[in-house]
């Protein structure tokens, strides 16, 4: 009975509202492209069926009320393969959780397009290459954990612009150069950067070239 | 989705059709080898390597002269061929085994290399052709090939040659065909190839060439076919491209070319095949393309072309393929395209086309595939499309089409794929759909299609995908669906279907997805469901199915999702669920299931999502819950579970959401479990239980959790300072517990994203920390019914997001700020604080020790000063005005008072507060508000909605009749009181005819009543807007109606 009353209520409410926003299937396409590049021995991506109306019913994918993909939760899922540039098309994504897998290859620079991203958790994988500068465009980012990978190169100095960043962990990589000290970096503990044998400690502005030995 | 690209075929066209000239050449050399006398005239002089190098050096310096010396050129050719062989590093098929100097040497001086595999000579023993296609050769290409000046064909297609293309090939004046496609050539295209005066066919496709298209290539004016597809070329199409006036095949696809097509492009009037697809080309499509009268194939898809589709294309009568999908084309689909009667494929999807679909397309009767989806096309589907009898694929989805589905579409008897989903089509699905005997895919979801699903759909026996969800189909499911033996995907969710699920649906044994969710289906779930053994997705949530869940459901061993929520399934969950070992999602919420939580569920180790909420489950949460190591969503709320949270729950280290609220769980909230849930990123709800003891400090380890609700328990102790570790907390509810002590001083600055904080109904004391101003995003804040002392922090007035504040029933004192949230606060939010003063509805503050004016005093003073100044001004004006008036008076015919010159007559206006005071009765107050505001306020609608809902739920009139303890109450007060008494209170006031089955139902009713109450708030500003009402209702429906 209550359910029926609610249904009636809903019908009433819907009558006065405009049609709900419709998901673009671009997001589904992007996710499906990811599925195709990943190897998935545990079958966690089995429900990612492109025949379905939108990706919101796929497991490990969360949409908002307008059916836009806001979360991708594939942490600890035993997937391997590379991340690929397609994820850069999930422009509504807020949480990208790909930690503790066997992902390799580079972090695609296209992830810099995810302007709404709050959390970028790629830790404990086998990622190589540099940390893309483009990630400094992620103005909403609060959590960036790229630790325990095989990342090389320097910490983009532009990250000092990420004023909302609360947590960063770049430890246990092969980064080099110095650690920025501006902006949110003034509050991060040094353990967020430990075990990067070629990292020279905090940047001494005006004295040590940023890329020294890098 | 995309058509298979016809590239392989085109490519063959290039390589196989290449040598008309070569046929001539080979013919010539065969004639030569057949004529002994001719052979004998041909002299062959072996030379040493050094001599050859010298000869080549001479040749390089004076090529034309050397070419005229036959003897020298023959040896030069031999040496060049030997150099070619030398640069081959692998020859797996032994193709070049005949390429030895000794071979054929004994046959009267005829140069042996003319008999080498793949080599052909002319009558003068000059090499004219090297053709080594698909021989597996690996290596680099020797520059010495540039010395075979008589070479007319060099075809090395499909080998593994790497390295650069030698620029020396540009010397081959006679070369008509150069085929280097499908190799591993790297580097740039040598501009020297532009010197190939005779070249007719140049194929460099399928390599990894970089750089731009050299404009010197425009000198190759004999070029007929040019292909560079699938390389990494960048830059623009050369401005001079139009110089290649003989070009009839131009294939630049799959590169990274950008820029616009140059104006000279218009000169390529001989083109038959134009393939520019999959580049970054932009700008308009030149209308001159309409002059390319031989044009057969146009591939411009996957670029960034903009502007409109040139109507001139309608003149290209030979067009068979026009593919412009995935660009940024705007405007209309030209009706002129209807002239293209040879057109077989028209793909324009993924643009921004905004016209109607032209009726003229009905004349393109050769069409096999018409794909106009993902545009902004309007109007209705033209009836004329029914004339396209050859059509196999018709895709119109994701547009803005309206009107009904034309019956004529059912004449398209060859259709295999029909999609018009995501439009605004209405009306029925034509009953004669039976004629679509070949239809395999029918995708029509997300429209407003209505009426019954035609029974004749059961005749479309080729159907394997029927996607019809999100429409308004009503009535029963048709009988006979069991004949659709190929059906793998059937989605009818979110329609208005009713009646029982027909038994024969379970004959569709190949079904992999069955979605009937969100309808009004009744009856029980047949045991025959067990026949659908291929099923991986079964979605029946949000119907009115009843009875027991059949034991046979356990036969569905391939299921990964079983969604039965929001029905009336009763009694026990069958033990056979344990067979569904692949199950990742099991949702049983909002049913009438009872008994203990079935052990079998906790053996489903793949489970990622489990909801058993809002049933009648009793007993403890079993330790076996720890088996579900993959669980990311666990909802057991709204049951009658008792006992404690098992320590084993700490093994659920993948959880994002944990909801155990509205049960009878007791004991302490185990800190060790919370400590292990560090991945809990979304939601922790333990509210409405009987938990005791302190809030564990480990809660601060939930770094990313977005919402914590521990309200309505019996928690004691202080608010832990560690909560500061929850750096992503949007909502925190600790209300209605027995928490004591002061709020931790350092907490608020860390919770800067918090939008909702409820700590009401505890025993918290001391000052509200002034750094509460750090909650920059806070929208609702309830600190009522505590023992807070001291002043209201002035910072609260500066929180611009704060819309709702409740500080009532504390021991706060001193002046109340006037600005910010306080300017619209209702008295009820401050009452019960005896020491507060200075606010509009409170007594003024008496500042014994303080100097100066109160804020109100200052305002009064300012008003007084202003009034005096205005008075002075008026007197001055009147004075001067009177003097002028007296001066004018003699000549003036007007007899009006001078005052009229200055004083604008003012109509008496009632202020809102006067009207409000005059109409104190609550419901009529709304009428006045409505009338006074002139612009119709949507908030008045919200008000009416709220009152209506309360009337509906309580079956009571809004005013007058209700009395409690003899005191007259408004309906709002009545409902408010009821809600404050909790669920029991709600149950008391609900319409007795309303059947509330579970505690979940009751709590939903309470939620609706609360919402209704907020809609009927006294102040319009306090009422939510309709959008947020809608979203709240939607949320509720998600909780109760299924997924």
pLDDT, tens digit, 9 for 90 and up, residues B858-873 = 444 545 555 656 666 6
* B136 Cβ neighbours under 8 A, 6+ residues apart: B90, B91, B92, B93, B95, B159, B160
SS3 B188: strand
Select the residue from B584, B725, B938 to test the A interface by mutation, using most A Cβ atoms within 10 A: B584
List Cβ neighbours of B49 (8 Å cut-off, separation of 6 or more).
Answer: B79
In angstroms, what separates the C-alpha of A13 from chain B's closest C-alpha? Answer: 6
Contact with chain B for residue A100, Cβ under 8 A: no
Q: What is the mean pLDDT of residues B370-399?
A: 97
Q: According to the CATH classification, is domain A26-200 in 3.80.10.10? A: yes
Mean local confidence (pLDDT), B233-249: 97
Q: What is the pLDDT of residue B875?
A: 63
| Domains B283-370 and B929-1037 in one fold | no
Distance of alpha carbon B797 from alpha carbon B616, whole angstroms: 46
| Contact at CB, B608 and A60, closer than 8 angstroms | yes
Residue B78 banded pLDDT, cuts 50, 70, 90: very high
Mean pLDDT, range B257-275, rounded to an integer: 97
* Confidence (pLDDT) at A206: 60
**pLDDT recorded at residue B865:** 53
- Mode of pairing for the β-strands spanning A95-97 and B787-790: unpaired
Helices and strands counted in chain B (H then E): 17, 60
The answer to whether B775 and B800 are in contact (CB under 8 A) is no
B217 or B1023, greater pLDDT: B217
Could you report the predicted ipTM of this complex, rounded to two decimals? 0.85
More confident residue, B48 or B197: B197
The tens digit of pLDDT for each residue in B81-123 reads: 999 999 999 999 999 999 998 754 444 456 888 989 999 999 8
Give the highest mean pLDDT range of B55-69, B661-675, B869-883.
Answer: B661-675
Find tokens 């709220």 and name the residue.
B946
B4 vs A45, residue with greater confidence: A45
Predicted local confidence at residue B566, as pLDDT: 97
pLDDT band at residue B21 using 50, 70 and 90 as cut-offs: very low
d(CA B885, CA B896): 11
**Calpha distance A178→B230 (Å, rounded):** 42
Pairwise CA distance, residues A169 & A120, whole Å: 11
Residue bearing the bigger pLDDT, B900 or B534: B534
- Among residues of chain B, what percentage have pLDDT more than 90? 69
Give the model's pLDDT for residue B985.
78
- State the CB neighbour count (10 A cutoff) for residue B547: 14
Tell how far CA B380 is from the center of its chain: 26
Distance in angstroms (rounded) separating the CA atoms of residues B440 and B194: 51
**Out of A9, A25, A53, whose CB is closest to B1033?**
A9
Res. A11 pLDDT band, cuts 50 70 90 = very low
Q: Is the pLDDT of residue B855 over 60?
A: no
Q: What pLDDT score was predicted for residue B966?
A: 55
> Measured between CB atoms, does B656 come within 8 Å of chain A?
yes
Average pLDDT over residues B931-947: 56
B249 pLDDT higher than 90: yes
Q: Residue B1008 is nearest to which of A9, A14, A65, comparing CB atoms?
A: A9
Distance, CA of B550 to CA of A109 (rounded, Å):
51
C-alpha to C-alpha distance for B648 and B661, rounded to whole angstroms: 18
> Could you report the per-residue pLDDT of B695-738, keeping only the tens digit for each?
999 999 999 999 999 999 999 999 999 999 999 999 999 999 99
A181 touches chain B (CB under 8 A): no
Inter-chain contact A16–B1033, Cβ cutoff 8 Å?
no
Q: Which of B470, B952, B1033 sits opposite A13 (nearest CB)?
A: B1033
Phi, psi of B709 (to 5 degrees): -130, 110
Per the DSSP assignment, residues forming a β-bridge with B172 are none
Smallest Cβ distance to B1036: which of A6, A49, A57? A6
Q: What are phi and psi of B758, to 5 degrees?
A: -125, 110
User: Closest Cα partner for B631 from B614, B651, B661, B648?
Assistant: B651
Q: What is the pLDDT of residue B1011?
A: 80
Domain ranges in chain A? 26-200
Average confidence score pLDDT of chain B: 84
Mean pLDDT of all residues in B902-929: 40
* Helix (H/G/I), strand (E/B), else coil: B634: strand
pLDDT at residue B939, as a whole number: 58
Distance from CA of B656 to the nearest CA of A (A): 9
| Chain A residues with CB-CB distance to B467 below 8 A | 51, 53
Longest CA pairwise span in chain B (Å): 142
Q: Would you place residue B936 in the very low, low, confident or very high pLDDT band (cuts 50, 70, 90)?
A: very low
Instruction: Say if residues B136 and B160 touch (Cβ distance below 8 Å).
Output: yes
What 8-state DSSP symbol labels residue B361? G
Q: Count other C-beta atoms under 10 Å from residue A64's C-beta.
A: 14
Rounded to a whole number, what is the distance in Å from the CA of B1037 to chain A's nearest CA? Answer: 7
Report the SS3 class of residue B464.
coil
Q: Residue B166 and residue B153: Cα distance in Å, rounded?
A: 16
Task: For residues B591 and B589, give the distance between their C-alpha atoms in angstroms, rounded to a whole number.
Answer: 6
Q: Testing the interface with A: which of B537, B652, B991 to mutate, by most A Cβ within 10 A?
A: B537
The confidence band for B373, taking pLDDT boundaries of 50, 70 and 90, is very high
State the maximum Cα–Cα separation within chain A, in Å, rounded to a whole number.
Answer: 74
User: Euclidean distance between the first and final Cα of chain B, in Å?
Assistant: 29
Asked if B590 reaches chain A (Cβ–Cβ under 8 Å), the answer is yes
| Cβ within 8 Å of residue B597, ≥6 positions away | B612, B617, B619, B621, B622, B636, B641
Point out the residue among A7, A43, A75 whose CB comes nearest to the CB of B679: A75
Domain B75-81+112-281 sits in CATH at 3.80.10.10
Answer whether B659 touches A (CB < 8 Å): no
Instruction: Please judge whether B606 and A65 are an interchain contact, meaning their C-beta atoms are less than 8 angstroms apart.
Output: no
Given a cut of 70, is residue B1036 above it in pLDDT? no
Number of Cβ atoms within 10 Å of the Cβ of B191: 17
Q: B residues 688-707 near A, CB within 8 Å?
A: 703-704
Which residue in chain B is spatially nearest to A167 when comparing CA positions? B727
Among B301, B341, B338, B302, which Cα is nearest to B319's? B341
CATH assignment of B283-370?
Answer: 3.80.10.10
β B177-179/B201-203 pair status: parallel
Q: B455-509 pLDDT, tens per residue?
A: 999 999 999 999 999 999 999 999 999 999 999 999 999 999 999 999 999 999 9
pLDDT of residue A7: 37
Interchain CB distance below 8 Å, A2 and B1005? yes
pLDDT the model gives residue A209: 56
* B49 vs B121: which has the higher pLDDT: B121
- Could you tell me if A32 lies within 8 Å of chain B, comparing CB atoms? no
Closest CA to B148 of B201, B194, B202, B82: B82
CB contact under 8 A, A142 and B727: yes
CB contact under 8 A, A59 and B585: yes
d(CA B249, CA B273): 5
Q: How far apart are the first and last CA of chain A?
A: 69
Residue B1014 has pLDDT above 70, yes or no: yes
Q: Give the containing element (helix H, strand E) for B75.
A: helix B70-86
Domains of chain B, by residue range, sit at: 75-81+112-281, 283-370, 929-1037
What is chain A's mean pLDDT, rounded?
85
For residue B679, the chain A residue with the least C-alpha distance is: A75
pLDDT at A214: 72
Q: At residue B47, does pLDDT exceed 50?
A: no
Q: Which residue of B has its CA nearest to A100?
A: B654
Read off the pLDDT band of B973 (50, 70, 90).
confident
Record: contact B1001-A3, CB cut-off 8 A: yes
Kindly calculate the radius of gyration of chain B based on its CA atoms and give it in whole angstroms.
Answer: 42
What distance in Å separates the CA atoms of residue B157 and residue B118, rounded to the nearest whole number?
12
Cross-chain residue pair B491–A53, CB shorter than 8 Å: yes
Q: Which of B193, B231, B230 is nearest to B210 (CA)?
A: B231
Angle, CA B932 vertex, CA B926 and CA B938 arms, to 5°: 60
With contact defined as beta carbons under 8 Å apart, do B816 and B793 qualify? no
Which residues touch B506 (CB under 8 Å, ≥6 apart)? B482, B526, B528, B529, B531, B532
At B782 the pLDDT is 97
pLDDT at B1027 over 50: yes
Residues 526-585 of B with CB under 8 A from A: 536-537, 560-561, 566, 582, 584-585
Provide mean pLDDT across the span B624-648. 95
Nearest Cα to B737, choosing from B696, B778, B687, B787? B687
CATH class held by domain B929-1037:
mainly alpha
User: Nearest CA to A3 among B1000, B477, B946?
Assistant: B1000
B546 CB neighbours in chain A (<8 A) are none
pLDDT greater at residue B934 or residue B956: B956
State whether residue A43 is helix, strand or coil. coil
Residues B422, A22: C-beta atoms closer than 8 Å: yes
From chain A, the residues in CB contact with B676 under 8 A are none
- How does B200-236 read in b/e, with b if 16+ C-beta sit within 10 Å? bbbbbbbbebeebbbbbbbbbebbbbbbbbbbebbeb
């Amino acid at each position: 009975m209550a359910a029926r009353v609610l249904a009636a209520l809903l019908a009433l409410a819907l009558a006065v509202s405009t049609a709900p926003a419709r998901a673009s299937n671009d997001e589904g396409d992007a996710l499906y492209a990811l599925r195709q590049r990943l190897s998935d021995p545990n079958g966690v991506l089995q429900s990612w069926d492109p025949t379905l109306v939108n990706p919101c019913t796929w497991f490990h994918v969360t949409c908002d009320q307008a059916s836009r993909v806001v979360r991708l939760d594939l942490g600890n899922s035993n997937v391997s393969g590379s991340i690929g540039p397609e994820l850069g098309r999930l422009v509504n994504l807020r949480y990208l959780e790909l930690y503790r897998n066997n992902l390799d290859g580079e972090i695609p620079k296209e992830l810099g397009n995810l302007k709404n991203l709050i959390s970028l958790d790629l830790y404990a994988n086998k990622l190589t290459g540099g940390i893309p500068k483009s990630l400094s465009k992620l103005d909403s980012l609060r959590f960036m954990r790229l630790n325990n990978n095989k990342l090389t190169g320097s910490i983009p100095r532009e990250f000092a612009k990420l004023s909302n960043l609360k947590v960063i962990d770049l430890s246990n990589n092969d980064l080099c150069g110095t650690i920025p000290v501006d902006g949110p970096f003034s509050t991060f503990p040094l353990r967020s950067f430990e075990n990067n044998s070629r990292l020279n400690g905090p940047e001494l502005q005006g004295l040590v070239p940023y890329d020294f030995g890098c | 989705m995309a058509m298979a690209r016809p590239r392989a075929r085109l490519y063959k066209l290039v390589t196989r059709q290449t040598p008309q000239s070569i046929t001539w050449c080979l013919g010539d050399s065969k004639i030569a080898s057949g004529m002994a006398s001719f052979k004998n005239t041909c002299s062959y002089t072996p030379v040493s390597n050094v001599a050859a190098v010298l000869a080549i050096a001479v040749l390089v310096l004076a090529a034309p002269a050397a070419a005229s010396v036959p003897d020298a050129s023959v040896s030069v050719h031999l040496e060049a061929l030997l150099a070619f062989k030398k640069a081959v590093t692998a020859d797996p098929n032994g193709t070049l085994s005949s390429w030895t100097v000794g071979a054929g040497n004994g046959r009267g001086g005829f140069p042996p290399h003319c008999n080498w595999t793949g080599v052909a000579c002319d009558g003068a023993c000059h090499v004219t052709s090297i053709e080594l296609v698909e021989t597996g050769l690996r290596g680099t290409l020797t520059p010495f090939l540039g010395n075979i000046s008589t070479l007319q064909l060099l075809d090395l297609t499909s080998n593994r040659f790497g390295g650069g293309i030698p620029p020396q090939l540009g010397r081959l004046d006679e070369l008509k065909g150069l085929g280097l496609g499908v190799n591993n050539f790297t580097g740039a295209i040598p501009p020297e190839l532009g010197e190939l005066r005779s070249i007719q066919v140049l194929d460099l496709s399928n390599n990894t060439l970089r750089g731009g298209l050299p404009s010197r290539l425009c000198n190759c004016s004999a070029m007929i076919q040019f292909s560079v597809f699938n390389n990494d070329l960048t830059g623009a199409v050369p401005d001079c491209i139009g110089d290649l006036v003989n070009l009839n095949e131009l294939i630049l696809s799959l590169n990274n070319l950008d820029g616009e097509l140059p104006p000279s492009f218009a000169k390529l009037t001989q083109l038959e095949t134009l393939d520019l697809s999959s580049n970054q080309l932009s700008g308009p499509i030149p209308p001159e393309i309409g002059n390319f009268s031989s044009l057969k194939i146009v591939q411009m898809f996957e670029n960034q072309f903009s502007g409109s589709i040139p109507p001139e294309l309608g003149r290209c009568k030979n067009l068979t393929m026009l593919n412009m999908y995935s660009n940024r084309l705007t405007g209309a689909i030209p009706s002129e395209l209807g002239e293209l009667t040879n057109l077989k494929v028209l793909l324009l999807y993924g643009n921004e086309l905004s016209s109607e679909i032209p009726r003229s397309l009905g004349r393109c009767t050769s069409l096999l595939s018409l794909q106009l989806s993902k545009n902004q096309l309007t109007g209705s589907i033209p009836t004329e499309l029914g004339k396209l009898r050859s059509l196999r694929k018709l895709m119109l989805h994701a547009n803005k089409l309206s009107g009904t589905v034309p019956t004529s579409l059912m004449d398209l008897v060859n259709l295999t794929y029909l999609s018009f989903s995501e439009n605004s089509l209405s009306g029925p699905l034509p009953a004669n759909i039976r004629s679509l005997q070949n239809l395999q895919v029918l995708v029509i979801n997300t429209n407003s299609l209505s009426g019954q699903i035609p029974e004749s759909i059961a005749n479309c026996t080729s159907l394997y995908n029927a996607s019809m969800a999100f429409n308004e189909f009503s009535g029963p499911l048709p009988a006979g669906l069991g004949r659709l033996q190929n059906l793998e995907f059937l989605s009818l969710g979110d329609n208005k279907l009713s009646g029982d699920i027909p038994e024969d649906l379970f004959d569709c044994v190949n079904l992999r997805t069955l979605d009937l969710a969100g309808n009004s289906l009744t009856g029980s779930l047949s045991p025959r469901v067990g026949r659908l053994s291929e099923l991986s997705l079964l979605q029946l949530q949000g119907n009115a199915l009843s009875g027991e869940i059949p034991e046979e459901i356990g036969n569905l061993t391939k299921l990964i999702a079983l969604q039965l929520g929001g029905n009336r399934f009763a009694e026990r969950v069958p033990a056979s669920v344990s067979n569904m070992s692949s199950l990742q999602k099991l949702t049983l919420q909002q049913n009438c299931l009872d008994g203990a939580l079935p052990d079998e569920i906790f053996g489903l180790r793949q489970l990622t999502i489990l909801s058993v909420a809002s049933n009648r489950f009793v007993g403890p949460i079993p330790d076996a819950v720890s088996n579900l190591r993959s669980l990311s969503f666990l909802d057991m709320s709204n049951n009658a579970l008792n006992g404690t949270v098992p320590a084993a729950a700490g093994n659920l280290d993948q959880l994002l959401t944990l909801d155990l609220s509205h049960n009878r769980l007791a004991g302490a909230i185990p800190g060790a479990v919370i400590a292990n849930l560090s991945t809990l990123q979304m939601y922790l709800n333990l509210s409405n239980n009987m938990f005791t003891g302190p809030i564990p400090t480990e809660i601060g380890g939930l770094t990313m959790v977005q919402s914590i609700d521990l309200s309505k328990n019996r928690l004691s102790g202080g608010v832990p300072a560690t909560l500061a570790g929850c750096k992503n907390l949007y909502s925190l509810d600790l209300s209605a517990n027995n928490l004591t002590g002061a709020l931790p001083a350092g907490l608020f600055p860390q919770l800067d994203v918090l939008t909702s904080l409820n700590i009401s109904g505890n025993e918290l004391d001391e000052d509200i920390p002034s750094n509460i101003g750090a909650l920059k995003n806070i929208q609702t804040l309830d600190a009522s019914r505590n023992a807070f002392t001291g002043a209201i922090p002035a910072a609260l007035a500066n929180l611009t997001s704060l819309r709702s504040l409740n500080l009532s029933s504390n021991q706060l004192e001193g002046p109340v700020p006037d600005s910010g949230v306080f300017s619209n606060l209702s008295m009820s939010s401050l009452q019960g604080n005896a020491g507060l003063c200075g606010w509009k509805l409170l007594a003024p503050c008496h500042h014994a020790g303080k100097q100066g004016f109160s804020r109100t005093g200052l305002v009064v003073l300012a008003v007084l000063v202003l009034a005096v100044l205005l008075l002075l001004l008026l007197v001055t004006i009147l004075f001067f005005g009177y003097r002028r008036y007296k001066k004018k008076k003699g000549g003036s015919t007007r007899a009006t008072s001078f005052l009229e010159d200055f004083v604008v007559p003012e109509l008496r206006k009632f202020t809102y507060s006067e009207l409000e005071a005059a109409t104190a009765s609550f419901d009529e107050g709304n009428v006045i508000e409505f009338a006074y505001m002139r612009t119709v306020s949507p908030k008045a609608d919200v008000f009416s909605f709220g009152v209506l809902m309360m009337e509906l739920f309580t079956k009571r009139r809004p005013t007058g009749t209700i009395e409690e303890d003899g005191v007259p109450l408004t309906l709002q007060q009545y409902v408010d009181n009821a809600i404050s008494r909790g669920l029991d209170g709600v149950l008391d006031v609900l319409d007795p005819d309303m059947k509330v089955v579970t505690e979940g139902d009751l709590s939903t009713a309470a939620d609706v009543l609360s919402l209704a109450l907020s809609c009927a708030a006294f102040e319009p500003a306090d009422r939510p807007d309709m959008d947020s009402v809608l979203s709240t209702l939607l949320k509720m429906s998600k909780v109760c109606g299924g997924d």
